[in-house]
């Protein structure tokens, strides 16, 4: 198909498609004339994935490129694809902590208590530690009391994620599950947590009655 049809079917403008081509997110189409290229269903599928990673997953273009490269590299072990995907985050990854801060110590305690095997280079370990250190810097070390509940929830989600990976029958489907499930799974959890917050908050803190006409008149 021509780029105009690709644009229409993927609901992505032609200038945006050209940007993705320049940034190396989308492979070039097959040359079919001086100023024309031909795209296939693989391009369409990849374009939809790029949009999801950027728009719903909140990834930067650089993160999306790294994740897509891992997806395409058939030599990578599935475990390693997880490692690449683990660096694709909607939040900023702090530099690996050179010092063992109180946050790092607390996260390592949680990891040990749950019997997790996690390397020192794990991006998630550094992020969780940074959050705990930030709680303390903000004078809210009390919020760290929640870390056990969060870890239990994270384990529940990670097990479900690995069930999905193990259910895939081809290596390509497995790595796609890792990439899509890791990035869009973050957004799915964030969404469901916000929905659960509304329920929990409204139960404990019912909103005050809406101001009636007497008050708005005064």
Nearer residue to its own copies within complex by CB, 31 or 114: 114
Do residues 158 and 118 touch, judged by C-beta distance below 8 A?
no
Contact status, residue 130 vs residue 106, Cβ threshold 8 Å:
no
CB of residue 141 vs its own copies: minimum separation in angstroms? 12
Q: Site for its own copies (CB under 8 A): which residue of 77, 112, 113, 172?
A: 77
Contacts with 65 (C-beta within 8 Å, 6 or more apart), sequence order: 23, 24, 25
**Residue 19 binding its own copies, by CB under 8 A:** no
Query: Which region among 16-24, 28-36, 61-69, 123-131 touches its own copies (by CB under 8 A)?
Result: 123-131
Which residue's CB is nearer to its own copies, number 28 or number 200?
A: 200
Piece of the chain touching its own copies by CB under 8 A; list 16-24, 32-40, 62-70, 176-184: 176-184
Q: How far is the CB of 38 from its own copies (least distance, A)?
A: 22
Q: Provide the minimum distance between the beta carbon of 24 and its own copies in the complex, in angstroms, as a whole number.
A: 20
8: three-class secondary structure by DSSP: helix
Q: What share of the chain is helix, strand, coil (3-state, %, to 5)?
A: 70, 5, 30
Three-class HEC string of 116-179: CCCCCCCHHHHHHHHHHHHHHHCCCHHHHHHHHHHHHHHHHHHHHHHHHHHHCCCHHHHHHHHH
66 binds its own copies (CB under 8 A): no
Residue 9 to residue 17: CA distance in whole angstroms: 12
Cα angle: 82, vertex 84, 85; to 5 degrees: 60
**Which part of the chain contacts its own copies (CB under 8 A), choosing from 13-21, 30-38, 61-69, 201-209?**
201-209
- Residue 187 interacts with its own copies (CB under 8 A): yes or no: yes
Build a one-symbol-per-residue string for 87-116: x at contacts with its own copies by CB under 8 A, - elsewhere. --xxxx-x------------x--xx----x
Name which of residues 20 to 59 contact its own copies (CB under 8 A). 45, 48-49, 52, 55-58
Tokens of 138: 């903000």
When asked if residue 180 is in the footprint of its own copies (CB under 8 A), the reply is yes
Structure tokens, 197: 């917050």
CB of 22 to its own copies, least distance (A): 22
Q: Does 160 bind its own copies (CB under 8 A)?
A: yes
């Amino acid at each position: 198909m021509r780029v105009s049809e690709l644009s229409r079917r993927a609901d992505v403008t032609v200038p945006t498609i050209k940007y993705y081509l320049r940034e190396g997110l989308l492979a070039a189409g097959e040359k079919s004339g001086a100023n024309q290229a031909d795209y296939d269903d693989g391009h369409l599928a990849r374009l939809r994935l790029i949009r999801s990673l950027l728009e719903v997953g909140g990834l930067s273009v650089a993160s999306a490129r790294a994740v897509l490269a891992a997806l395409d590299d058939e030599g990578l072990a599935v475990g390693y694809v997880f490692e690449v995907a683990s660096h694709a985050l909607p939040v900023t990854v702090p530099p690996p902590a050179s010092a063992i801060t109180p946050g790092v110590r607390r996260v390592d305690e949680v990891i040990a208590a749950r019997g997790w095997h996690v390397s020192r280079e794990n991006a998630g370990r550094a992020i969780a530690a940074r959050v705990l250190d930030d709680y303390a810097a903000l004078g809210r070390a009390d919020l760290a009391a929640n870390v056990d509940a969060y870890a239990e929830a994270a384990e529940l989600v990670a097990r479900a994620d690995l069930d999905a990976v193990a259910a895939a029958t081809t290596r390509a489907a497995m790595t796609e599950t890792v990439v899509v499930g890791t990035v869009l799974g973050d957004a799915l959890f964030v969404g469901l947590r916000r929905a659960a917050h509304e329920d929990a908050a409204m139960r404990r803190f019912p909103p005050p009655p809406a101001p009636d006409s007497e008050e708005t008149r005064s």
